[in-house]
Amino acid sequence: MAKKKIPLKLAIAEYPHTSKIRDGSIEIEGVEPEFITVNPQIAAYRRMVRQVEFDVCEIAPTTYMIARAYGAPFVALPIFVTRHFHHGGLLVRPELGIKHPKDLEGKKVGVRAYSVTTGVWARGIFIDEFGMDTSKVTWVVDDEEHVQQMVLPPNVIHAPKGASLFQMMKDGELAAGFAANAGIGRSGDPQGGWRTEDTSMWPDLFPNAHELEAEWYKRTGIYPMHATIVVKDSVLAEHPWVARSLYDAFETAKQDWLARMRSGELDGPNEKKYKKISQIVGPDPLPHGMEYNMPTILKLEDTAWKQGLIPKRVPLEQAWVDPLK
């Protein structure tokens, strides 16, 4: 007799490499999924860390690490549905002559929230690779942190009520800011979405970011993840096989997507992004699993600790489940 499927609520975004899971073309073995669409997906992050609303959720890895350190009842699997490097994406006002991360010391820099993963990865790089003292930078935020228990460092301040980081950058109140949804390129939409502002007037701190990223990856093996899959502890306590079922489904969907990308069937913005990244990391730009990703997982945890984002360091075996064991 076939095993009865268990019902699970899943909040994962629609990507070319997840679409066949969401439409049922690729099944999650033993699971009867109910897919919850949350737009934007970051709203699902908050619902997961505050109400533990879903059985399975795509969530920013920094948000997860903070939530887990504060006792969140869900655990991460080494499945990563978005990734990119972070040497690029910090825009600077050209008249200030900012050429090096240390030039930001004593200045104000905009970022949507202090715990946003883009900012966390970039600050880690600025600290470790370029000697920047992040405590000497005033970080200006215009959004709340996903994890409400988190205590912000004293050098993090909120933008004035009603002010956007984009306008503050235009008015010269900020020396720099993170682009797109991580900061100055993003404005809140009353309907819960995001719109992107034109930030082309400001140059990137590192015009040669791609070369720096390639060298960094070759030297460290660190390939930043941007979205992680988490599962409720209670689900895995009762049905530990769910971890492997999820892993296999995401891996199968990814391999299908890679084949269609390589054949030329898919060639949209998502594919162009990952083809460029593949020049650095090799033919699989979305590698899953603990073994390959261990340097990256450990680095993000260490970075979160150094930046005062987590109140304690959670042992690896309590923070991650290896589905292949």
Secondary structure element (H or E) that encloses residue 49, with its range: helix 42-51
Residue 223 has pLDDT above 50, yes or no: yes
Angle at CA of residue 243, ends 239 and 245, nearest 5°: 95
Residue 188 has pLDDT above 90, yes or no: no
Q: How far apart are CA 212 and CA 280, in angstroms?
A: 11
- Identical fold for domains 6-85+223-319 and 90-218, yes or no, is yes
Find all residues with CB under 8 Å of 291, minimum gap 6, and list them: none
Residue among 52, 49, 170 nearest 113 (CA): 49
Q: How far apart are CA 164 and CA 148, in angstroms?
A: 21
Q: Which amino acid is at 150?
A: M
% of the chain residues with pLDDT over 90:
90
Residue 3 has pLDDT above 80, yes or no: no
Q: Which amino acid is at 241?
A: W
Q: How far apart are CA 164 and CA 275, in angstroms?
A: 34
What's the pLDDT band for 185 if we cut at 50, 70, 90? confident
How confident is the model at residue 1, as a pLDDT? 40
Secondary structure element (H or E) that encloses residue 324, with its range: none
* CATH number, span 6-85+223-319: 3.40.190.10
Q: How far apart are CA 33 and CA 23, in angstroms?
A: 10
Q: How far apart are CA 258 and CA 264, in angstroms?
A: 10
* CATH number, span 90-218: 3.40.190
Sheet containing strand 176-178, edge to edge, reads 90-92, 176-178, 108-110, 138-141, 156-158
Residue ranges of alpha helices (H) inside the chain are 19-22, 42-51, 61-69, 117-130, 165-170, 209-220, 233-238, 242-263, 269-281, 290-306, 316-319
Residue 111 near residue 119, CB atoms below 8 Å? yes
Q: Which residue bears the tokens 């990256």?
A: 296
Mean pLDDT of 81-110: 96
Domain boundaries, the chain: 6-85+223-319, 90-218
> Which tokens is 57 given?
């959720």
φ, ψ at 13 (rounded to 5°): -75, 165
Q: Which amino acid is at 186?
A: R
What's the pLDDT band for 195 if we cut at 50, 70, 90? low
> Which tokens is 107 given?
């200045």
Q: How many CA atoms lie within 13 A of 300 on its CB side?
A: 29
Name the pTM for this structure: 0.93
pLDDT digits (tens, 9 = 90+) for 25-37: 999 999 999 999 9
Q: How far apart are CA 139 and CA 145, in angstroms?
A: 13
Residue among 314, 316, 321, 290 nearest 72 (CA): 314
Mean pLDDT of 99-125: 96
Q: In sequence order, what are the beta bridge partners of 7?
A: 32
How confident is the model at residue 191, as a pLDDT? 37
Residue 266 near residue 257, CB atoms below 8 Å? yes
